Amino acid sequence: MSLTKNPNVNKWVDEMIALTKPEKVVWIDGSKEQLDALTEEVCSLPDDSHDKMYKLNPDLLPGCLYHRTQPNDVARVEDRTFICCRNKEDAGPTNNWCDPQEMYAKLTPLYDGVMKGRTMYVIPYSMGPIGSPLAKVGVELTDSIYVVLNMNIMTRMGKAAFENLGDTSNDFVRGLHSKADVDPNNRYIVHFPEDNTIWSINSAYGGNVLLGKKCFALRIASYQGKMEGWMAEHMLILGVKKPNGEVTYITAAFPSACGKTNLAMLIPPEGYRSKGYEIFTVGDDIAWMKQGADGRLYAINPENGFFGVAPGTNEKSNYNALASTKKNTIFTNVALNNADNTVWWEGLDKNPPVDATEWKGAKVNGVEFTAQVGPDGKKQKLAHPNSRFTAPAENCPCISPEFNNPNGVPISAIIFGGRRAKTTPLVYQSFDWAHGTFIGSAVSSETTAAATGAVGVLRHDPMAMKPFCGYHMADYWAHWLEMGQKLGDKAPKIFNVNWFKQDAEGNFIWPGFGDNMRVLDWIISRCEGTVDAVETPIGYLPKKEDLNLEGIEDEVTPAILDELLTVDTDLWKEEVADLRTFYKDFGDRLPAELTAQLDALEKRLG
């Protein structure tokens, strides 16, 4: 029975029922009773069922569940991800495009009767706090209990979501998902931005099926933001509390493998903690930002949980992320420690369990297994390298008191960054918003050993949005420039950081992790206007005496500090040439302002 009187929702749900033909339909109200019953149902399935989930040790990991996806279904699939808008040019060169009518015609036969003999779950959910003027509503239809239980963690799920929508609005995102037979040749994750619609079929893995995540919160929402005058960004949100009690809020966008989650949940070094500095996490992945009544830019985290990569997460690398997983968390494609029915992954500690179940389901001696070389010539892994945890944000020890503030938090600074061995200094500030937009458009990162292909190859990832922008990237940059004009002198200041500078031997010369607080400290001082800076051709750099290096003087010597803050003119001229080539991809839709910024940089470099 429907949970809403909204005729737009009910009409669409009825149409999708007629198409997919489920045996029964269950509306998800979000109640504990309903979720407990679904948990019992999915955990009681036979072991050979692909839907099966397992309860973990109730004493050590209370409320936690374990799941394995099929081996061909373990990650987002960029080549099967489409933006379907009426004009091909509106998708731009960074997206796979298909005509909407052609794609509907291709997918409709795949969905026809796909839920016969199965249950359709109707999931109403809110992206953002219930009642927030920045929040948006989605409805996902799925035949997967795994999706229901994950969406309960990642969103504000249940009948309360319809409060934001009301009884007449048509402003909701329609999501249709079926895991079907998980045939990779018929796997599609398709976005119809002009229709507020997402269709996903033949996957049962996280980012492809939790449609509130990248699909709605970035691809669809970025298009909504352009049309409605706000911003959906692939950014963490954190608050820095100073000893006087003031909290400054910052967003930051980094490509993968650049320390985004670590920064979102940073623990300040002892010298800062002893003075009363604290970091508060508002979000680790996505920020929706809108101009407030006072003219400033305000941000909410549209999500309600963390969808984190497990391998490499440990007490040292990210204490707060690990602590977030200790209860009511769903683990996917990690390994099981059969001795105590807990989970394990590479990097958690150096002691793989002897009695283990590896991520594909085979029982093995974990010590012997991880010592063996697999078919790819690398050491065998107990957990898949992209194995995940879905953890409630409320579990995080440093979650912000403002996490559920419907109005969001006021943003003072926006940070971009990438992994660069030589060119980019530790930190610099843009001259203004337009220059900051240029810096964001130029974000690139060198590949690591974790990625396929050659190491050290420069990959462009503007604003860390290349896989997630739901329309033409050049139009997205134009939207940034428009937002800057709207915000005027209330706009956040824009910075770029690089934690990954290396010496001649390839060693990182900045300690990183908690010591990144020292860079945040300088950024906040610049926002407050309490420190001066050195003007260079690329932007404003810190005066050396304004970076607090107390306690790391032996690591960051004056010579290393010189290296961290150097601007090598020859390398930057190479950067300009590379950007000219990159910009050509965007044709005549490239904003003239960005070309002017590039020309001005070249001129300043001499």
Name the active-site residue from 258, 396, 398, 469. 258
Beta-carbon contacts of residue 320 (< 8 Å; ≥ 6 apart): 265, 267, 281, 396, 397, 398
Cα separation, 206 vs 574, in Å, equals 39
Burial class (CB in 10 A: 0-12, 13-18, 19+), 270: exposed
Cα separation, 246 vs 229, in Å, equals 29
Cα separation, 263 vs 247, in Å, equals 16
DSSP annotation string for 171-204: -EEEEEEE-TT--GGG-EEEEEGGGTEEEEES--
Is residue 258 part of the annotated active site? The answer reads yes
Q: What does the block give as tokens for 243?
A: 């000893």
Helix (H, G, I), strand (E, B) or coil at 459: strand
Amino acid symbol at 593: E
Cβ atoms of residues 285 and 260 within 8 Å: yes
CA proximity to 171, closest of 205, 122, 108, 220: 220
CA dihedral of residues 290, 430, 524, 482 (deg, nearest 10): -10
Burial 60-77, CB ≥16 within 10 A → b, else e: ebeebbbbbbeeebbbbb
E-strand spans in 193-311?
197-201, 231-233, 236-241, 247-253, 278-283, 287-291, 297-300, 305-309
Q: What does the block give as tokens for 50?
A: 């692909």
Helix (H, G, I), strand (E, B) or coil at 224: helix
Catalytic residues: 258
